[in-house]
Amino acid sequence: MESVFLVNKFEDGWDMIDLESDIYTQEEYCVDVLEIPDEKIYGTEMIGIGLLEIVLTDIEEPELEEDWYINLHRISA
């Protein structure tokens, strides 16, 4: 299953300029702050000002109840 999330609230200390222009920083944010397993991240992209699109792949039903997935739903725009 593939899922798309839009995040517009970011933790302090993360530079929006880096997030807007660097895919590696976007993925690092997803792994380090949002605690998304790296192998689940299909891609990221800044769409508009301050809006991060996160595309996840290979999400299995048991993962829908894991903390990182629930939190991602909670903070999604």
User: pLDDT tens digit string along 63-73?
Assistant: 999 999 999 99
- Structure confidence at residue 2 (pLDDT): 77
Q: Determine the pLDDT at residue 6.
A: 95
Residue 13: predicted pLDDT: 82
Q: Residue 58: helix, strand or coil by DSSP?
A: coil
Mean pLDDT by 10 residues, the chain (77 residues): 88 82 93 96 91 95 95 88
Tokens matching residue 50 = 């301050």
Determine the pLDDT at residue 61.
92
Helix (H) or strand (E) holding 13: none
The residue extents of the domains of the chain are 3-48+62-75
Q: What pLDDT, on a 0 to 100 scale, did the predictor assign at position 77?
A: 66
